[in-house]
Chain A
Amino acid sequence: MVFWRKKKDESVSSGEDKSAASKVANERSASTAAGDPLAQQTLPGETKIASSHSEKDIKPETDQAESATPEDGGSWFKKLRSALHKTNQILQTDIRDLWKSEGRLVDDDFLRELFVILVRTDMGQPTATRIRDRIGREFRGRKVTKEEVLESARSEILASMQNRSVELQFATSGPTVILVVGVNGAGKTTSIAKLAYRLRKEGRTVILGAGDTFRAAAVEQLKIWSQRIGCEIVSGEMGSDPGSVAFKAVQRAREENFDVCIIDTAGRLQTQVNLMQQLEKIRKIAAKQIDGAPHEVLLVLDATAGQNAISQARGFSDVAGCTGIILAKLDGSAKGGVVVPIMTEFSLPVKLVGLGEKLPDMAPFDPEAFTRALLSFDN
């Protein structure tokens, strides 16, 4: 779903030159701006993220001339609005299409059209049916305005998402360990990079564990990101035991007192029993070294995924004890509506959303904004 578009020419290139790589060595002292290659420059088009410890305050800003209206609360809606025009040419899913003129009779046709729109968000047939039926009960036979129906649909979705705390949990003292899991290609490694970048911007020290020792060049991928961010990384040989990489990363986090340790894992399908058990083992390895670790187990879901994401959430929660979701690739035309039933069924909150392939392209999950975007409501 496109509620966020950024300029294409932007590049987070500060870490790409070799000199930035050498700065990595100084990373431990880099919570001050001096050692931090990113703190020194804000590139054109790059989102600035406030250096604040409160998640709520970290709303990406845009560099567009257009100024946000006060109730917009930031870039979500501004981006949303400009992007929607493009999306709407491709998607015919805009709920506003239900109203050709002011007011419309709620009848079978109307409810069917509403159902189709809801299903297109990937929220799934049962959730779409529930919302449609609620609208039917409330409004059938009446002539309704768009606002009335939207309000009703929105509150139903919001309620089912259990609008509760979505902030990352940090250890009260000592390093916070974050384990990142998910199916192949969902966006784990990129999300880790973006998350590390955010945490660094908040002034935390970060160490990464390159726990994907299986996929071709997975370690190199995370290494390049760590250089761009300017943070430490622990890695092993390709084909080595991911458990031992996790062990070393957590150990270093503990011994050298890093604020956060984020562990990458190889993509795996929830049906692969052996590989799923490997996650259990990594959990245990972390727990042995640090009480309460891993403090977060984040499941990365691809926003383009359909109903299989429910099976993913079930499989990964069962084995890895997920504490939250990162919904990646929400900058595309897919709406990611499958998190609605997932949040209901598994009480698993979405904590962060991925909005692109660059480091600043991550934002905290905002249920209100998400719900609006889900129904393509832009005014």
Chain B
Amino acid sequence: MFDSLSENLQSAFKSIRGKGKLTEANMRDGLKLVETSLLEADVSISVVEQFMGRVTEAALGKRVLLSLKPSEELIRIVYDQLVAILGPVDNTIPLQRGQVKTIMLCGLQGAGKTTTCGKLAQLIKESKFKPYLIAADLQRPAAIEQLHVLGRQLGVGVFSKEGASDPVAVCQEGIAAAKAAGADVVILDTAGRLAIDEELMGQLKSIDRSVKPDQVLLVVDGMTGQDAVNSAGAFNAALELDGVIMTKLDGDARGGALLSVKAVTQVPIKFLGTGEHLDALEPFRPEGMASRILQMGDILEVAREAHRLVDEDERKAMEERMKKGQFGLTEFRDMMQKLRKPGLMQKMMGLMPGMGEMSKALQSADSDKEMRRIAGIIDSMTPTERDNPKIIDNQRRMRIAAGCGATAPMVNELLKQFDQIAGFMKMMSSGGAREKMAALQQMQGMMSNNPMNPMQGMSLKQSTGKRLTPKERERLQKERDKAVRKAKRKN
């Protein structure tokens, strides 16, 4: 989709290429394409209309830089406007020693509230505060048990009341229990409800009135469509939201609903959910979200590249990082994803040393699937693990594998391959042409018997990809036992 948008934009702007100013007339086609792109990203149409007005205003009279194509200039304006609307950033949650703070999560059915309760609890725990969960969803079958399971996983207290029917009472009793348990932050997991369900919205209001949470957060599914304006508007009207969390952004949803939600509620976006695991919660960054919504990660790269070509500093900094070996799994994943867009590569050549050659090698059959598989494994790691793969022990390996349907040996294999690649990247970025040639040759050799496929030789297991079979668990258990015995012997 994006590829065609970028091409279309370029042809729409052919006539004013590299000269003159942006005017309403010469932007018309370009703006149309931007509108279409936003609609495809599920931004609500009323919000799109407002937004296009803003963009037009900001763009009118803008001189097109000689170094930039008009299409790139327009996209930069659109991007900047998106960033401005999605911001400002406020990732804070109420934490204060000696006080019991309360956070209430609400939203439509299945948005990800309960899971996000667990994620927030983990975050709070990591900040050395004591979270406490309250099971106020008395509606959905096994909702209470679900929260208990998360609580057990995290070692966090969970309050629930067998047979209760009044969530207001449960919340009140739960907060008293949390205080008694010495908790710092109480998180209320409320039942999913429709924004048009007056009765259940009324119930939410009574919880709000009786508990007076320090923060009320709306949890929104990243795949939400046009209805986002209605539901978010209704929740905000009923509760005066303090923030928004958007979930399920680990897939290919562009998440344009976030723009709608922001436009109608005007409250800060706090976090993004990027997986089912409890550590898959990322602080919100408007820049990342803006390029995601526009699905222009790549064209933005190119637009930035245009600036960067002038501004060599950033490029130097990147090379510097690589030289120092600061090429982590996150960078690896990002690089792979960029490399998947063939057309882009030519433009990106020189941005990262050696990428051009690699991209050619990567365009072999099946590499797309493979790369998605690898990206899946990397996504399943925590940020800390990505930065420092050395800490990945058996237990972590098992968790990573379970999270993405791979097996522990696949994770191992990936880590091994990554080691080689990271070394290669370092070589490529260090100094002279001769070293680079040597590195390239080495890399090509590596890839010819293993075409950038860390999973090669494991295809049998691949075809039965799964979260974890009992057999595998048994084997992993054995491995773990062995490791424990080994460690004991050492002591």
Contact = CB atoms under 8 A, between A and B. Distances in A.
A323 interface: no
Contact of A271 (B153, B221, B372): B372
B402 A239 contact: yes
Interface in A89-116: 90-91, 116
A357 B109 contact: yes
Interface in A271-292: 271-278, 281
Contacts of B404: 272, 274-275
A308 to B, nearest CB: 4
A271 B405 CA distance: 12
A281 B150 CA distance: 28
A119 B45 contact: yes
B465 A275 contact: yes
A87 interface: yes
B223 A302 contact: yes
A220 B230 CA distance: 33
Given A185-B112, A271-B252, A357-B109, A241 B468 contact: yes
A61 B208 CA distance: 36
B91 interface: no
Given A124-B40, A184-B276, A185-B221, A274 B406 contact: yes
B286 interface: no
A228 B254 CA distance: 38
B390 interface: no
Contacts of A14: none
A122 B405 contact: no
A116 B44 CA distance: 10
Contacts of A343: none
Contacts of B369: 273
Contacts of A186: 110
B252 A221 contact: no
A220 B463 contact: no
A228 B142 CA distance: 13
A86 B196 contact: yes
Contact of A125 (B39, B197, B200): B39
Interface in B106-125: 108-112, 114
B478 interface: no
B111 A244 contact: no
Classify chain B: how many residues form its interface, as a range: 35 or more
A130 interface: no
Given A90-B234, A116-B45, A331-B194, A122 B252 contact: no
Contact of A270 (B108, B112, B251, B468): B251
Contact of B231 (A121, A220, A304, A311): A304
A289 B357 CA distance: 49
A273 B224 contact: no
Given A187-B109, A217-B146, A241-B468, A269 B40 contact: no
B376 A329 contact: no
B381 interface: no
B373 interface: yes
B466 interface: yes
Most chain A CB neighbours (cut-off 10 Å) among B143, B226, B369, B373: B226
A329 B466 CA distance: 29
A228 B140 CA distance: 13
Most chain B CB neighbours (cut-off 10 Å) among A185, A309, A335: A185
A338 interface: yes
A185 B467 contact: no
B42 interface: yes
B227 A221 contact: no
Interface string B439-466: 0000000000000000000000011111
Contacts of A185: 109-112, 221, 248
B67 interface: no
B389 interface: no
Contact of A333 (B109, B143, B231, B376): B231
A312 B222 CA distance: 13
Interface of B: 36, 39-42, 44-46, 49, 108-112, 114, 139-143, 145-150, 153, 194-200, 221-227, 230-231, 233-234, 248, 250-254, 256-257, 276, 369, 372-373, 376, 402, 404-406, 462-470, 473
Given A122-B42, A214-B402, A224-B141, 13 more contacts: A8-B197, A86-B198, A120-B44, A271-B251, A272-B404, A275-B405, A304-B225, A308-B223, A333-B194, A333-B195, A333-B227, A334-B226, A334-B231
User: What are the 5 tightest A-B residue pairs by CB atom distance, in nearest-first order?
Assistant: A306-B225, A185-B110, A274-B405, A306-B42, A269-B251
